[in-house]
Amino acid sequence: MGSTTRPELAGTHGMVASTHWLASAAGMAVLEEDGNAFDAAVAAGFVLQVVEPHLNGPGGELPVLFAAPGGPVRALCGQGPVPAGATVEHFRDELGLELIPGSGLLPATVPGAWDGWLSLLRDHGTKRLDEVLRFAIGYARDGFPVVPRLSETIATVRELFRAWWPSSARTWLRDGAVPAPGTRLRNPALAATWQRLLRAAEEAGGDRDRRIDAARRAWSQGFVAEAVDRFVRHPVADSSGRSHPGVLTGQDMATYAASYEEPVTLPTPEGGRLAKFGPWCQGPVLLQQLRLLEELPVEYRDGVATPETVHHAVEAAKLAFADREAHYGDSADPGVLPELLATGYTDARRELIGERAAATLRPGSPGGHLPRLPDFVAEGRGAGVPPDPSGVGLGEPTVSPNGDSRGDTVHLDVVDRWGNMVSATPSGGWLQSSPVIEELGFCLGTRAQMCWLREGLPNSLVPGRRPRSTLSPSLLTRGDDPVLAFGTPGGDQQDQWQLCFWLAHARGGLDLQAAIDAPAWHTTAFPASFYPRGWQPRRVLVESRLGADAVERLRRRGHEVTDAGPWALGRLSAVGRDPDTGMLRGAANARGAQGYAVGR
C-alpha cells in the first residue's frame, strides 16, 4: 500500500485523537495544563459540539468507555431515554405512522450529552467546568472555520430551513446564503447558554463538585428544560410529510441523569479483553464478528486485506447484524448476550459462512431465544431500499433535503501520562434533523427513530427505555491496564469499520495509523437503524485501493460490489499505551481532511 498518510504519533505526555483538529488541540491544551484524560475529553467533546454541528450537538447523546491503570473498564451512558409521552399507541394509532420520522420533534429523546460530560468531569476529572468549557464557548462566540462537509450539509437542507424551520435559517444561513468552506461561523446563542450555565454554577458556591451539579440542575430542571418544554409544543414539519409537535417535556429532562454501567468484555486471541457497551446498543456486534472470525483465515498483504478476508468479514457482519436486529435493545432478555457470545452458538453460526455471499437476513436462536423481528423487516418491506441517500455513507452525514440523516457522529480518544484512557462517540442534535431552539442555540436529537412501532420487540418504542443506538466506542485492556482506545463515526458502519481497523492492527500487524489508513469496506445487508430503515442484501461497498482484482473476485462470490472511491469509508481515531514502557501512541483518519491526532 506504500507509506501511511501520516506518521503514528509517539510520546510520553499525552495523546488526543478526534474527528476535528480543533477538538484535538483543545484536549491537548488541557493535558498541557496538567489536566487528566477525563478533563481533556470533556474539553474536546464540547468543542466538537461547536465545530461539527452537523455531526453532534448539545441536544444529543454520549456513550463513554474509560479506564485507569489498575481499575476496571467503566461505561458512562449519556443516552437519554424515550420520553414518557412517546408511546406506540400515540405514534402508530393516533398519528397513523408506520415508522418514526427521522427528522423534526417526534423522534427526540431526552438530551443526555450535557449530563454525561459533566458527570465524567465531576467524578473523574480535576478541572473546573469553566476551565474545560472555555474553548467551546470561545469558538461559539468568536467563530470557527466552516469545513466543507458542514457547508454541503447546510446547502442540502437550506430550502427546508427557509420554508419550515426559520429558526434554523437564522442560525445557520448568513443573509440567506450558505456559509462557504473556510469562512468563520458563529453561534452566539449557544455561547450565551453555556455562559448562563456557568453563572448558575458560580452562584451555587461551594466546592468544584457542588458547582458542577448546580450546572447540571440548571440544564435539567432550570432554564434549558423550560425552553425545550415550550419549544416542542409547537408543530414543525418532519420527514413524514406532515407537521407534528414533540412529546419531550421538561419533566422528562428533570428526571434524567447519566448513569454508569458495566461494559461487556471479550477475551481476544491476540491477548487482552475488548470492552463494549451492552446490547441496549449495537456495541456487542463487534465482539460477535471477532468471535466468528477467530477460526477463519485473515490475511493482509502489503497493508491490504485479501479478498478472502473481506468476504469472511462481510459474511460475519451479516450474521452479527442479523442478530442485532432480532435480539438487541433496551427491552431485550438480559440472558441473551452470553448466549450470543457462547462458543457453541458461535461455532454453529460460523458454519453458515460459505464461499458465496448470503442473500437473506439470518438471525439465530441463541440459547433457544427465538428471533423477534418487526413486521417491516420480517415481510421484507425495506429490502432493496437504499439505506442512505448517497448509498455510500462516508462517516459524514448522508442527508436528505427533508433533514433525514444517517451515519453522522463524531469520535474522540484520549490517553494521559498516568495511563488514564477515554473513548467516546458523542452524537445527535444534528443541525439538519431538528429545528434550532433559538434562545438556546441548539436543536434536539432524533435518536428515537431507531425504535420500532410494535410492542414486544427488544427495540420497541417504550417510554423510559433507550433506543438501540449505533454509537459504539471501544477500549482494550491487558491485565489491569488500558492499552488501546478507538472508534469511528458512521452509524450502522461503526462496528464494521472498527472491525477493519482491528483486523489490520491486531491480526495484520499494522501500526495504528497504517491500520486506520488500510482500505476499508462494509455491507448494507441488514436493516438500517435510521429512517427509512432500508437494506440491500448482497451489497458491499469497498475502497478501490483494495484493488481491481479483489473487487472482481468478490463479485464472483456473489457480492454486489460498489467502488466507493480510494479514500471514502470510515473516520477512525485511536490512542494506545504500552504499560511496560509508558510510551503513548496516537493516530487519526485522513479521510475528509478533518480528523487529527496530537500529542507529545
DSSP state, 192? H
Enter the C-alpha cell of residue 574. Answer: 485511536
| Among candidate residues 441, 433, 373, the one with its CA nearest the CA of residue 404 | 433
| Among candidate residues 294, 363, 358, the one with its CA nearest the CA of residue 322 | 363
Instruction: Identify whether the C-beta of residue 443 lies closer than 8 Å to the C-beta of residue 435.
Output: yes
* Percent of residues in the chain assigned helix, strand, coil, to nearest 5: 35, 15, 45
CA distance to 14, 50, 155, 389, per residue, from 148 (Å): 29, 15, 11, 18
pLDDT of residue 587: 98
Report residue 173: phi and psi, to 5°.
Answer: -100, 150
DSSP state, 520? -
pLDDT of residue 531: 84
What is the distance between the alpha carbons of residues 534 and 296, in angstroms, rounded to a whole number?
A: 30
Instruction: Identify whether the C-beta of residue 490 lies closer than 8 Å to the C-beta of residue 407.
Output: yes
The CATH code for residues 264-402+470-599 is 3.60.20.40
pLDDT of residue 381: 83
Q: What is the C-alpha radius of gyration for the chain, rounded to an integer number of angstroms?
A: 22
What is the distance between the alpha carbons of residues 590 and 472, in angstroms, rounded to a whole number?
A: 20
Using CB atoms within 10 Å of the CB of residue 301, give its burial: 0 to 12 exposed, 13 to 18 middle, 19+ buried. Answer: exposed
pLDDT of residue 198: 98
Contacts (Cβ under 8 Å, ≥6 apart) of 45: 23, 62, 113, 117, 412, 424, 426
For each successive 10 residues of the chain (600 residues), what is the average pLDDT? Answer: 84 98 98 98 98 96 97 97 97 93 95 98 98 98 96 93 96 96 98 98 96 98 98 94 96 98 94 96 98 95 97 98 97 95 98 97 96 88 62 44 62 98 97 95 96 95 97 96 96 96 96 97 93 89 96 98 93 96 97 94
What is the distance between the alpha carbons of residues 225 and 33, in angstroms, rounded to a whole number?
A: 33
Q: Angle at which helices 188-204 and 129-142 pack, to 10 degrees?
A: 160
Alpha carbon distance, N-terminus to C-terminus of the chain:
27
Continuous H helices in 333-450 = 336-340, 343-350, 375-378
**How many C-beta atoms surround the C-beta of residue 45 within 10 A?**
30
CATH 3.60.20.40 domain range(s) in the chain: 264-402+470-599
pTM, 2 dp: 0.96
What is the distance between the alpha carbons of residues 319 and 361, in angstroms, rounded to a whole number?
A: 8
What is the distance between the alpha carbons of residues 198 and 212, in angstroms, rounded to a whole number?
A: 9
What is the distance between the alpha carbons of residues 530 and 406, in angstroms, rounded to a whole number?
A: 6
Strands 481-487 and 573-577: antiparallel
